[in-house]
Amino acid sequence: MKKKYDVLALGELNVDLILTGLSSLPLPGRELLAETCTLTMGSSTAICAAGMASLGLSTGFLGKVGNDDYGRLAAKTLEGYGVDLSHLIVDDNLQTGITVSIAAKSNKDRALVTYLGAINALTVEDVSDELLDTARH
């Protein structure tokens, strides 16, 4: 029997705020200026799903985001890769997670700060056997 999805990705969907070109990593109480700033879709699960869809695999995604601008940005970006988001859970009681990545230009040091928000909100109860049965992988 043909399955709806080649791959069903289950996990987190968040945004990344990437600041690069700092002279060093910041010290407490000190402000640094970044050369570039990018707000983009983040999360290992979503990036993997986008890659699989880009390779032509029928890809579905199950995860949770908040009903907010970050959730809409992440979902729109993932959907732009051709990932089916019909199972995405948008929760009015959650905020979409965000990771802030700070990178220094001189020595390639990087620091990450993450607000989990909806990142860890997906539970086993959100995943039905029927949904799992729609995917080959």
Binned at pLDDT 50, 70 and 90, residue 14 comes out as very high
pLDDT surpasses 80 at 108: no
Residue 88 phi, psi (nearest 5): -65, 135
**Contact by Cβ (8 Å): 78, 16:** no
Find the Cα–Cα–Cα–Cα dihedral 36, 42, 48, 52, rounded to 10°.
Answer: -70
Q: Of the spans 21-25, 88-92, 105-109, which averages the highest pLDDT? A: 88-92
Convert the pLDDT of each residue in 51-104 to its tens digit. Answer: 999 999 999 999 999 999 999 999 999 999 999 999 999 999 999 999 999 998
State if pTM tops 0.95: no
The domain segmentation of the chain, as residue ranges, is 7-132
Could you tell me which residue, 24 or 59, shows the higher pLDDT?
59
**CB of 59 within 8 A of CB of 53?**
yes
Q: Which CATH class is domain 7-132?
A: alpha beta
Q: What is the mean pLDDT of residues 24-50?
A: 95
pLDDT at 120: 93
Note the pLDDT of residue 2. 86
- CA–CA distances in Å: residue 77 to residues 49, 71, 103: 11, 10, 23
Given a contact cutoff of 8 angstroms between Cβ atoms, the answer to whether 137 and 4 are in contact is no
Average pLDDT of the chain is 96
pLDDT (0 to 100) of residue 1: 73
Q: Are strands 89-91 and 64-66 parallel, antiparallel or unpaired?
A: parallel
Cα gap 135→82, rounded to integer Å: 16
pLDDT of 130 strictly over 80? yes
Q: Which residues contact 45 (CB under 8 A, 6 or more apart)?
A: 9, 10, 11, 12, 13, 61, 63
